Amino acid sequence: MYLANTGRPDAPPRPARARRRVPATVVALGAVSLVTDVSSEMVTAVLPLYLVLGLGLSPLQFGFLDGMFNGATALVRLLGGRLADRGGHHKRVAGAGYLLSALSRLGLLLAGGATAGIAASLAADRLGKGVRTAPRDALISLSGPPETLGRAFGVHRAMDTTGALLGPLAAFAVLWATADAYDAVFAVSFCTGLLGVLLLVLYVPSAAAAPAPPARSAPLHRGALRDPAFRRILYAASLLGAATIGDSFLYLLIQRGLDLPPALFPLLPLGAATGYLLLAVPAGRIADRVGRRLPFLAGHLALLGAYAVLLFPVAWPTVAAVLALLGVFYAFTDGVLMALAGPVLHAHRRAGGLAVLQTGQALARLLGAAGFGAAWTFWGQGPALWTAALALAGALAAGWRILPDPAPAPARDAPEAP
């Protein structure tokens, strides 16, 4: 495992052939994420139908449950990052998160129709997802030299997205084979989730070689925030996140513009996910070549393009353009941001720092989505979209100034002075 941070966090790759290979840890974590996403997306695909049509929950009740637990996920990431950095137990904490999510499918199976049992199962799933995210990304960032992290995160995100695409297909295949037996979906999802945990245990090495934190060092999250370069990345990501209105609103604008039948609405995310899958690895390679700052901003520029396209009358070419631009947005921002921030953080603060970054971005996006929803309600969809586009353009200009230049940086994995 490569633990020494040599060179710049935003430097172009070195020509050594060995460093062009994706580390085995990244491939193993990608396989774990692929299998786990098949498991989770099987449930996600059928849960609205199961709760609203099967159990009779109102859309308001379902929206409250889903929104509350999704918001809590962002905050739980801080706990996962802090636990992982204490003693370098990244694999152990990530494994606990994967296991908790797998057990939540069993909870849905055993809940029967009880609302309390379903709520507890959803909470366990979101808790597991929140706990595992930062330690998993820290393992990826510690698995290879900093100059190849863009490709490493691209490979992982591509495998992760593959699972997200396969999950709904597997769910509907199970429903078709069992005559709409939702319990069968939960049972298959549970077994698939356990397979992901087993892959993690068998094939993902731990980060035990990472240096332990100094005895008198500052608290992990506060230490990351003391770093000027990391603060600038956090500020830029949060500012851009606050100008992101959320995919669901974009899909809703498409649906209203085309008067799309509700049955076809769930297919829209698959288009964006396909673009993300195809572009994740090339985007990572580009980020390794030119630095991560410019691709990260270019991804948000693609999102601004999606906003601009929707300002015109919606037609089928509009749909294709928006979905393609969303795929570009995710490919050039999700893993690229982690590759940009990872080398800036000391190894023993890597998971905690990434958790802070992910939480800040997620909470900012929640505020952005809520703000756009309020603007749409009071002003109408046209003025709200114009406002979102102008806000994102301003955030891009500010992000260009805030994000650190790809300048040389000191090694970040050496022990700090007490």
pLDDT digits (tens, 9 = 90+) for 141-167: 999 899 999 999 999 999 999 999 999
Average pLDDT in the 98-114 region?
Answer: 89
Residue 191 CB neighbour total at 10 angstroms:
13
User: Cα–Cα distance between 344 and 35 in angstroms, integer?
Assistant: 30
pLDDT band with cut points at 50, 70 and 90 for residue 252: confident
At residue 415, the 3 state secondary structure works out as coil
Spell out the residues 6+ positions from residue 383 whose beta carbon is closer than 8 angstroms to its own. Answer: 375
The secondary structure element, H or E, covering residue 268 is: helix 268-290
> Residues 270-305: pLDDT tens digits?
899 999 999 999 999 999 999 999 999 999 999 999
- Indicate if the pLDDT at residue 382 is higher than 70: yes
Cα–Cα distance for residue pair 151/12, rounded to 1 Å: 12
Contact in structure between 382 and 261 (CB atoms under 8 Å): no
* Amino acid identity, position 1: M
Closest CA to 359 of 165, 38, 82, 156: 82
For the entire predicted model, the pTM comes to 0.85
Position 201 confidence tier, pLDDT thresholds 50, 70, 90: very high
Q: Where are the beta strands (DSSP E) in 137-179?
A: none
pLDDT greater than 80 at residue 396 = yes
Q: Residue range 75-86: average pLDDT?
A: 87
How far apart are the C-alpha atoms of 413 and 342, rounded to whole Å? 11
Q: What is the CA radius of gyration of the chain?
A: 21
pLDDT at 76: 85
Structure confidence by residue, pLDDT tens digits, 329-346: 999 999 999 999 999 998
d(CA 234, CA 225): 9
- Which amino acid is located at 293 in the chain? R
pLDDT score recorded for residue 262: 67
Separation in Å, CA 216 to CA 150, 213, 313: 33, 8, 60
Task: Please choose, from the candidates 353, 352, 412, 348, the residue with its C-alpha nearest in 3D space to the C-alpha of residue 88.
Answer: 348
Percent of residues, the chain, with pLDDT higher than 70? 82
CB atoms within 10 A of CB 378: 9
Phi, psi of 349 (to 5 degrees): -120, 15
